[in-house]
Amino acid sequence: MRQVAIVAFGQSDHRPDSAETSEVEMLMPVLHQVLDTVGLRAGEIDFTCSGSSDYLAGRAFSFTMALDGVGAWPPISESHVEMDGAWALYEAWTRLLTGEADTALVYAYGKSSPGDLREVLTRQLDPYYMAPLWPDSVSLAALQAQALIDAADTGADERALAGVAARSRTAAETNPHAQLTGSPPPEALLDEPYLVRPLRRHDCPPIGDGAAAVVLAAGDTARRLCPRPAWIRGMDHRTEAHSLGVRDLTRSPSTRLAAERAGAFQAPVDLAELHAPFTSQELILRRELRLADAVRVNPSGGALAANPMMAAGLIRLGEAAAAIHRGAAGRALAHATSGPCLQQNLVAVLEGDVL
Amino acid sequence: MTPAPSPEVLQAPLVVEFPFTRSLGPVQSAFLTGLRNRTVLGVRTTDGRVLVPPVEYDPVTADELADLVEVAPTGTVTTWAWNPAPRRGQPLRTPFAWVLVRLDGADTALLHALDAPGPDAVRTGMRVRIRWAGERVGAITDIACFEPYDGAGAGEAVPHSGEFADPVSGIVAPARLDYTYAPGRAQSRYLKALAGRTTYGERCPSCRKVYVPPRGACPTCGVATDEQVEVGPRGTVTTFCIVNIKARNLDIEVPYVYAHIALDGADLALHGRIGGIPYDQVRMGLRVEPVWSADGRYPDHYRPTGEPDADYDTYKELL
Ligand SMILES: [Zn+2]
């Protein structure tokens, strides 16, 4: 089977408010950056795929506006997913595996600032039994966090959650794109009030606007475009039952299964970029992914430092790939999630050629 | 060439409101009709579990499910979260706990609100019971909330026909989301100029085309447009249609003409209504100019200028 690699990655600075730019104005510099990295023009890309959400924009077919930024006239081969761009990357990967294309541009963006994100996200819930109650995204994550704390076998407590927050935001100090950087020590964080108990503000991701893009290429094209391509050795995504009440919220069997199918357990990884918007979710993911203590988790700061909706998962794949590009990782795992309480999960395994 | 002024961002409230009308399958219909009758139904799976709230297909085996059972209005909290600041649309106005509750007789949990005096009164494993809404219509909100309850478990699920008089067959799920819309740099510049009755397009630095209204990017080249070019005010009708359906909230007599209009100097046609001429005399090539209402921030419509029609060759690229 032909091998496909991530050969370029770019992201915007993630900010709480970007009212001065439209979506396409926010996205375009990122698109130009990744295309410049590989020396291609938009018209030379074989396949383009994007992730975004109309509910963030408050407008139907909002992704068509962003298409202006890739030069979609004359018509290009293009597709869109109404979820995180990591799933757009999955679609592009399969397209390249079939041999239909040699290069693909994948991008994702989200502006949360125009609306009330916690309310907007209620619209992705089951419309009969859940959405009429308007349970917001932080409250649902808090139910999951409490279940984790109550479970006897996890060792999770509020101190452990604060430790995830402090480590992530401290790591983000070296990430120039991050929205939140730096943290008091975990003990000090525990003095803060609850947002929705048991979650405090530090347990939750920042709400912000941002965009990201990657270029994929197959085989020899990848070697030509990038000195050290990040080869996608495996990728898989799985989903849980949509009703929260039928799930064990302390586990993520979909992540475990996706990781198995992606080949994540065939050899140890040295770096993992996990899309865990809430501190408790990182603890769940670490267990399902069987990550050893030596694995560097989210050296970018992860979603706790910047969580632009629909782009934060794609950024995990991009950050993992970028670490391979610069020789800072040999085998990396990237995870993306979409929906409430780790509803859908995608796992990819990336490798560089042996140095 | 006019250099682009520093953008002053425009913003406006945007409300998206929709009453989704959704139909119910047999299982959901029985469940919601049951709530209207203070009866909680679940569905039994082929391997004997009882799902509450019930679904039509088993989330594990994908088997079709229809074996309805009744469970108790009492149950046990499986996890909770204290919500100190209730938000619009949520079940209670005062601080409350979100809870997942496994009703007695069920194997899965239902999401709802728990009315409790404070977080110290809530714990996983606590016993609760349903507080019914005074007026029930066949919706999940027929459960007003849960409240603490001292009693023990009330046993097994019992078979239920799922039959009620006058079953509900659908729900109306109203939704409202409030946004602050900001159109970005290019459209802010366009709208601000338009308020002064000047129409600006923006030229692509690569292909030199002038886009009206500008959106900040050339869709052909995928690069930013930032050179402002005054276009119009006159233009040419490139194509049109005759509208015979009266739009709600729009005070325009039908039939009327809606047209694509290529403003002079623009490489893209915008659209607008044509007035000041009988609808059946509008034609391709007609030369038009904008008509502004007294306090309008954009042209109300376009009317004929009286000039001779434009040659087809001058606008055929803009069709
Ligand atoms: Zn152009």
- pLDDT computed for residue B246 by the predictor: 87
Nearest to A24 among B20, B81, B217 (CB): B217
Nearest to A194 among B82, B91, B109 (CB): B82
Instruction: Please state, as a whole number, how many other Cβ atoms lie within 10 Å of the Cβ of residue A118.
Output: 19
Q: Show the DSSP H helices in A203-274 as ranges.
A: 219-225, 253-262
* Rounded Cα gap, residues A246 and B32, in angstroms: 19
- Residue B249 above 80 pLDDT? no
> In angstroms, what is the span from residue B213 Cα to ligand 1's centroid?
14
Enter the pTM of the model: 0.94
Host H or E run for residue A226: none
* Cis status of the peptide bond prior to B7, with omega within 30 of 0: no
Strands (E), chain A: 4-11, 47-51, 78-81, 103-111, 194-196, 199-200, 209-218, 230-239, 271-273, 296-297, 331-338, 344-351
Mind listing the pLDDT tens digit for each residue in B63-73?
999 999 999 99
- Residue B6 above 60 pLDDT? no
pLDDT-wise least confident of A47-51, A184-188, B116-120, B153-157: B153-157
Taking CA atoms, what residue in A is nearest to B55? A243
Mind listing the pLDDT tens digit for each residue in B87-114?
999 999 999 999 999 999 999 999 999 9
Q: What is the ipTM of this complex?
A: 0.95
Section A175-188 average pLDDT: 97
Q: How many secondary structure helices (H) and strands (E) does chain A include?
A: 12, 12
Instruction: Please state, as a whole number, how many other Cβ atoms lie within 10 Å of the Cβ of residue B92.
Output: 14
Percentage, residues of chain A above pLDDT 70: 100
In this prediction, residue A106 has a pLDDT band, given cuts at 50, 70 and 90, of very high
Q: Do B14 and A114 touch (CB under 8 A)?
A: yes
Mind listing the pLDDT tens digit for each residue in A306-331?
999 999 999 999 999 999 999 999 99
Section B23-30 average pLDDT: 96
* Rounded Cα gap, residues A114 and B179, in angstroms: 5
A163: helix, strand or coil: helix
* Rounded Cα gap, residues B126 and B100, in angstroms: 11
- Residue B2 above 70 pLDDT? no
Mean pLDDT of chain A: 96
In this prediction, residue A1 has a pLDDT band, given cuts at 50, 70 and 90, of confident
Mind listing the pLDDT tens digit for each residue in A44-78?
999 999 999 999 999 899 998 898 888 888 889 99
In this prediction, residue B1 has a pLDDT band, given cuts at 50, 70 and 90, of very low
Place of tokens 């799902």: B51
Taking CA atoms, what residue in A is nearest to B183? A22
Section A240-250 average pLDDT: 94
Mark B108-143 as b/e (b = at least 16 C-beta within 10 Å): bbbbbbbbbeebeebebebbbbbbebeebebbbbbb
Q: Do B90 and A133 touch (CB under 8 A)?
A: yes
Whether A280 contacts A256, CB under 8 Å: no
Which residues numbered 165-184 in B keep a CB inside 8 Å of some CB on A? 171, 173, 175, 177-184
Measured between beta carbons, the chain B residues lying within 8 angstroms of A134 are 87-90
> In angstroms, what is the span from residue A39 Cα to ligand 1's centroid?
19
* Rounded Cα gap, residues A201 and A221, in angstroms: 45
Section A152-161 average pLDDT: 90
Mind listing the pLDDT tens digit for each residue in B177-207?
999 999 999 999 999 999 899 999 999 999 9
Which 3-state string (H, E, C) describes B36-103?
HCCCEEEEECCCCCEECCCCCECCCCCCECCEEEEECCEEEEEEEEEECCCCCCCCCCCCEEEEEEEE
Measured between beta carbons, the chain A residues lying within 8 angstroms of B24 are 128
Cα–Cα–Cα angle for A80, A86, A91, rounded to 5 degrees: 50
Mind listing the pLDDT tens digit for each residue in A117-139?
999 999 999 999 999 999 999 99
Q: Do B177 and A147 touch (CB under 8 A)?
A: no
Min CA distance, A241 vs chain B (Å)? 6
Whether B222 contacts A36, CB under 8 Å: no
- pLDDT computed for residue A355 by the predictor: 62
* Rounded Cα gap, residues B137 and B130, in angstroms: 16
Query: How far are the Cα atoms of A130, B171, B174, B242 from residue B24, in angstroms, in the given order?
Result: 15, 8, 16, 40
> Which of A45, A119, A203 is most worth mutating to test chain B (most B CB atoms within 10 A of its CB)?
A119
